[in-house]
Structure 1
Amino acid sequence: MTTSFRLGYVPGVTPTKWVRIWQERLPRIPLDLIQVPAAEAAALVRTRGADAALLRLPIDRTGLHAIPLYAETPVVVVPKDHLVTAADEVTTEDLVDEIMLHPLDDALDWQRPPGLLADDRPATTADAIELVAAGVGVLVVPQSLARLYHRKDLTYRPLLDAPESSVALSWPEDETTELMEQFIGIVRGRTVNSTRGPATDKPPAKPPAKARSRGSAGPQPGKRAKPRRRS
């Protein structure tokens, strides 16, 4: 029976680069990808439905490890003819009079988005995107989700003062297997020849310079040459 490594990932997170490196280093061990809704990603790992998952923080970390990998830029998604599009970037102050959609699977770590909250919360980000296209309101999401749900009639602008979304690698707290160590090394950027340890390990110290040999020509630095006596 062939061993495999099962990796869950939430919408908008693209594991392509890490999958390619895995295939180069471990060509005989399949890496099986499982796309999972953001709200179910932590449970997938906790119930051993996957060996690990790429998900967005915050999560309930009970029984789980989580290594933050990178932060995503928050953006506001609007129709292409919206006033917001006149600026290259916006702040939450620019959205105080906007109807704001707040989906139940919101990926940003805030209790209340800016603006005037819509009466009903869409079930998913995909549903909220459809409502933005219908002119019902605007939506704040990580940039990767704005790209994932791209539509020709919508655009987005960076939102400077919104909380960022952090993408993390999570796996069971009581089970760090050899394959798990391999994948941790890949996402942390370790080379194939590097030893295990933090990706921020300092390079080894340079060896001391060789001492000057006694018979070397010329005076040593910091010392004067003795004048020769004339015969």
Structure 2
Amino acid sequence: MTGSEEPPAFRLAYVPGVTPTKWVRIWNERLPGTPLTLVGVPAAEAAALLRDGGADAGFVRLPVDRTDLSAIPLYAETTVVVLPKDRAATAVEEMSAEDLAEEIVLHPLDDPLDWERPPGRPAFERPATTADAVELVAAGVGLLVVPQSLARLHHRRDLTYRPLTGAPESRIALSWPEEKTTDLVEEFIGIVRGRTVNSTRGRPPTPPQPKAKRAEKKTGAPRKPAAGSKTSRGGAKPSKGGAAKRGKPRRRP
């Protein structure tokens, strides 16, 4: 590589609420010579950014158009209600849609939840952004239903949140243009999927090794002759004295 050439770089987009720190750290450890640039993008503009080449891949909120974009679903977020800390509802651990029936619930134009409108009574106007809706909650205008990551992102000391049961969830996915699945994109996919540094995408499986032949059974040691036996491997059984005794000849009368 000549001095005029720049090293390859990887551009990673992410929508509000996503924290890509863990994956960026692993990338820097494995590919220190390939810089990774983070590109923050509003959720509604993420797909267009990827199509226009503004990023190589990105963390987006589903759904996305799969016509030209690939996507790997990663996780679903908990849906919560953002409300002032001095509200009586903060005494409960979680809330339901029925608890919001008489409440004004704000519905921002950039709402990432997949529903026509949230439960409760609608406000006269829809806030332009989630950040604007949070300000209205702090002013006592109404409540807000969002993914938990957005509630944390727009945290205020005078506000809190509670999980909302029976509500749709926002799902996060890794997405990229299908026709631009480069080697660097494959590297990042491997990191997100938890592949180790030694693993190789598409590596053929190790063929089974032939089993070693079992050793033949060994025969037992030769059986010892029974006690008192007259024969042995050494011949006749000797007497205690080491030689056989001779009997005295009988004398004739």
Normalised to the residue count of structure 1, the TM-score between the two structures is 0.87
What is the Cα deviation at residue 42 of structure 1?
A: 0.7
Decide whether aligned partners of structure 1 residues 82 and 216 sit closer, same or farther in structure 2, where only a CA change above 3 A counts. Answer: farther
1:96 aligns with 2:101: yes
Tell me what 2:77 maps to. Answer: 72
Question: Equivalent of 2:32, from 20, 23, 27?
Answer: 27
1:3 aligns with 2:3: no
Deviation of 1:117 (Å): 1.2
Deviation of 1:26 (Å): 0.4
Question: Of 136, 148, 153, which residue of structure 2 is paired with 1:131?
Answer: 136
| Structure 1, unaligned runs of 5 or more | 198-202, 219-227
Question: Within 5 Å, which residues of 2 pair with 1:15-164?
Answer: 15-164=20-169
Other-structure match for 1:224: none
State the 4+ residue runs in structure 1 displaced beyond 4 angstroms. 203-212, 228-231
Match of 2:247 in 1: none
Deviation at 1:215, TM superposition (A): 3.3
**Higher Rg of the two aligned structures:** 2
With over 3 angstroms needed to count, the CA separation of the structure-2 counterparts of 1:229 and 1:146, relative to structure 1, is same
Structure 2 match to 1:213: 215
Paired residues, number: 217
- Provide the secondary structure at the position in 1 that maps to 2:180: coil
Deviation of 1:208 (Å): 8.3
CA distance in 2, matches of 1:217, 1:76: 79
Alpha-carbon separation, structure 1, partners of 2:7 and 2:37: 12
Change (3 A) 1:217 1:90: farther
The CA RMSD measured in Å over matched residues stands at 2.3
Distance 1:63 1:217 in 2: 72
When structure 1 is superposed on structure 2, of 53-62 and 178-187 the one drifting more is: 53-62
CA distance, structure 2, for counterparts of residue 78 and residue 181 of structure 1: 42
SS in 2 for 1:174: helix
CA positional deviation for 1:109: 1.2
Cα gap change, 1:156 to 1:208, in 2 (>3 Å): farther
2:54 maps to amino acid: G
Deviation at 1:21, TM superposition (A): 0.3
In 1, the alpha carbon distance for the partners of 2:144 and 2:175 equals: 27
Higher normalized contact order (CA 8 Å, seq sep 6+, divided by chain length)? 1
